[in-house]
Amino acid sequence: MDLNVSGLASGFDWKSMVDQLTNVERAPQRRMRTEQASVRAKNAAFTSLKTELTSLKTVSEKLKDTSFFDTRKVTSSETHASATADSGTSSGEYNFEIFQLATSAKQLGASDVGAAVSTSSAMSSGGFSIAVTGGTVTVQGKQVTVSTDDSLTTTLAAIKTAVGGSFDYSVSGDKVTLTDSSEIVLGSATDTSNFLQALRLNANGTTSISSSGKLGGIDISVTPANANFTDGTGAASGSFKINGTTISWDSSATITDILDKINSSEASVYANYDPVNDRFLLTNKTTGDVGITLEDVTGDFLAKSRLLTANSGALSRGKNLLYKVNDAGPLESKSNTIDSNSSGIQGLAVTATKGNGASKISSVDTSGETVTTESSHGYSTGEAVTVYSPGTIPGGLSTDTTYYVRVLSSSSYTLHTTKANAESGTNAVDLTSTQTGDVYMMSSSPKIATVSVQADTDTIKNKIAGFISQINKVQSLIKTQTASSTDADGKVTLGVLAGESLVSMTISGDIRTKAIESVDGLSGTITRLESIGYTSSGYSNELSLSDSNTLETALSENLGQVKSLFTTTTDGLANSMYTYLDALLGDDGSLETTQKNLTSQISSIDQQIADHERRVQMNRDTLIRSFVNMEQAQSKINNDMSFLMSRFK
């Protein structure tokens, strides 16, 4: 018989009584939990206050930074010129005239770097610049199967046989020519081989078609030793330098691998192979008229790729940006972003995306008074131009004179001192000698943009408003947390932090004082928040903008005084507020100390509850053992009575 079952022998439900006694004994725990809940609520309220104070500290830190008040707002009149300005950049308008954009320099490898195809070898290894794929191809309506194991000669002969008649072919100068007595028709929608594309053959509506380019080239998917270089087999491994950066390759590296190594290196160039012109190219990743240095260290990759000058490689110079600013110049910039290194304007950076009007002179004909440009000049007859040169200008010209163009062709013109002479073609300027170095003619129609740099008063105004708003949020939160209310029955409800003098008096009062007090040491008219339009009603600790015109005037006319109001060392509003909050919120600050004490109280109450619960459980266990003993005794008595009763029947 399980005598732990309440009343099994005695008929007395002692377990319910034990539960009730235990519940009564736990009454102190309930009081402790109520107290703990109050402490937790208070700690949570302090955490909320701490969050808002931290936000106020953050905005104060921004406003105490003197460079913040030197923030600049930059606008550009045109989309082809964007600009940024550092703090402190001189305010004003800057008129930019962009004549030429900067471009990147290129090292152009000599063409025909790949050897001619082998007409007798299997096409898979014949040196085609476009690798031939097997399949079917159609010529003059006859379909022929192409196998890359066959030679070019074998395949062309098979096509000739299939077409028949007067159809024929020839191979010369690394090109194929097809002829017939009727118009040649190439390909069909069901062809599966690229044979015709590899031969660079395209229908032209005539009876004779020739390859549009040489067939041979470099297979960049193989190693340099197997790449079909015109100048012989490339080295199996080696290294070279580009712009001082060493690139190494081993016997397993393909040309693609080598190009990828160049592109991902610190050489600051892009490397690629141009299959159309059969040459390698290196392009500077940066713009401007700067060179590209090359050196084979071991092996001969640069030599075999014909990039070196000694192997007919050539540098195509990059262009510098040509511009004027506020009529000064022309000036040059290696980058399309004009900065102080070029313009001398500290803190201002202008990025141009369009330019117009600069033409570089390639030669001067002193007998015909004709100027020839490197590329299309884009001028029209009668257009005004001036001359600019970092070198020596042609004899007969002056940098201080405006000339007028008479266009002879897209790349040539004569110069005249009047528009009328230019239009009539009379009295051309007498050019007495050629130029030395780079010489540019600059037209009167560059791409123009006006960049305006001003104090960013909107950002400053918004940050000040944020400062005031955060002060008000802190004060409003403190008011809510410390207030008391009385209901209709006269019951008073206290705020969670009511009675906390640290909050209601110290923090609230200190913040109010630091916000509205005058700043010592200021000599101007702006010495307190009221001077820029912010006031307190006198009935609350919150502030409001009572006069927006005063604020606008202060920011537009006395920004320096506004800056001093917030940033003056020690006493500036933002400096003073930040210092106070930094101490208050620090590890040794009163707010942190208070929260540590509250957290300790919560932990202490947890321990008290646990200790009390152990005593309650001990008492409960004692009661249960006593009642179980009672049940055992009662059970014995019941058994004895049953025995006696059975004897007297």
Q: List pLDDT tens digits, range 185-212.
A: 999 999 999 999 999 999 999 999 999 9
Query: If we measure between CA atoms, which residue out of 159, 136, 156 comes closest to residue 146?
Result: 136
The domain 321-452 is placed in CATH, from the list 2.40.30.180, 3.90.1170.50, 3.40.50.300, 3.30.9.10, at 2.40.30.180
Q: What is the CATH number of domain 220-316?
A: 3.30.70
Contacts of 553 (CB under 8 A, 6+ apart): none
Most confident of 30-34, 41-45, 429-433, 487-491: 429-433
DSSP class per residue in 438-459: --EEEES--EEEEEEEEE-HHH
Contact 184, 203 (CB under 8 A): yes
* pLDDT in the model for residue 501: 84
Query: If we measure between CA atoms, which residue out of 314, 312, 334, 307 comes closest to residue 323?
Result: 334
Contact 182, 139 (CB under 8 A): no
Provide the token pair at 149: 């194991």
Peptide bond into 28 cis (omega under 30): no
Q: Which residues, in sequence order, are bridge partners of residue 145?
A: 136
480-485 LR contacts (CB < 8 Å, sep 24+): 481/45, 481/48, 481/49
Any idea where the domains of the chain sit in the sequence? Answer: 1-71+456-484+495-637, 130-210, 220-316, 321-452
Contact 99, 355 (CB under 8 A): yes
Report which of residues 130 and 80 the model is more confident about.
80
What 8-state DSSP symbol labels residue 506? I
Query: How much is the average pLDDT of 444-473?
Result: 94
Provide the token pair at 497: 């932090």
Provide the token pair at 362: 């390639």
Q: What are phi and psi of 242, to 5 degrees?
A: -125, 120
Residue type, 408: L
Starting at the earlier edge strand, list the strands of the sheet with 238-242.
245-249, 238-242, 294-298
Burial class from Cβ neighbours inside 10 Å (0-12, 13-18, 19+) for residue 34 reads exposed
Helices (H), 332-399: 340-343
Question: What whole-number distance in Å separates Cα of residue 321 and Cα of residue 497?
Answer: 66
* pLDDT in the model for residue 580: 92
Q: What are phi and psi of 448, to 5 degrees?
A: -110, 140
* pLDDT in the model for residue 8: 56
pLDDT in tens, 377-413: 999 999 999 999 998 999 999 999 999 999 999 999 9
Sign of CA dihedral 254, 255, 256, 260: positive
Query: How much is the average pLDDT of 149-176?
Result: 94
Contact 554, 531 (CB under 8 A): yes
State which H helix or E strand residue 535 sits in: strand 534-536
Instruction: Identify the residue whose tokens are 């009328």.
Output: 420
Q: Which residues, in sequence order, are bridge partners of residue 136?
A: 145
Of 135-149, 178-192, 222-236, 289-303, the one with minimum mean pLDDT is: 222-236
Q: How far is CA 523 from the centre of its chain?
A: 45
At 16 the three-state DSSP class reads helix
State which H helix or E strand residue 481 sits in: helix 457-482
Identical fold, 220-316 and 321-452:
no
Contact 395, 432 (CB under 8 A): yes
Report which of residues 513 and 12 the model is more confident about.
513
Using CA atoms in the order 598, 599, 602, 607, what is the torsion angle rounded to 10 degrees? -130
Query: If we measure between CA atoms, which residue out of 247, 246, 223, 245 comes closest to residue 233?
Result: 223
Of 315-329, 435-449, 519-533, the one with minimum mean pLDDT is: 519-533
How much of the chain exceeds pLDDT 90, in percent? 69
* pLDDT in the model for residue 131: 86
Question: What whole-number distance in Å separates Cα of residue 149 and Cα of residue 417?
Answer: 71
* pLDDT in the model for residue 3: 46
Report which of residues 229 and 641 the model is more confident about.
229
Number of helices followed by number of strands (H, E) in the chain: 15, 30
Mean pLDDT of the chain, nearest integer: 91
Q: What are phi and psi of 166, to 5 degrees?
A: -90, 5
Confidence class for position 5, pLDDT limits 50, 70, 90: low
Query: How much is the average pLDDT of 7-20?
Result: 74
Query: If we measure between CA atoms, which residue out of 48, 57, 31 comes closest to residue 497?
Result: 48
State which H helix or E strand residue 76 sits in: strand 72-76
Provide the token pair at 523: 């000599």
Strands (E) in 192-320, as ranges, are: 208-210, 238-242, 245-249, 269-274, 279-284, 294-298, 314-316
* pLDDT in the model for residue 133: 95
In total, the chain counts a number of residues equal to: 649
Provide the token pair at 93: 């308008």
Q: Examine the pLDDT at 1 and tell me if it is beyond 60.
A: no
Question: What whole-number distance in Å separates Cα of residue 210 and Cα of residue 202?
Answer: 8
Contact 41, 50 (CB under 8 A): no
How much of the chain exceeds pLDDT 70, in percent? 98
DSSP class per residue in 91-132: PEEEEEEEEE-----EEE--S--BPPPPSSSBGGGS-BSS--
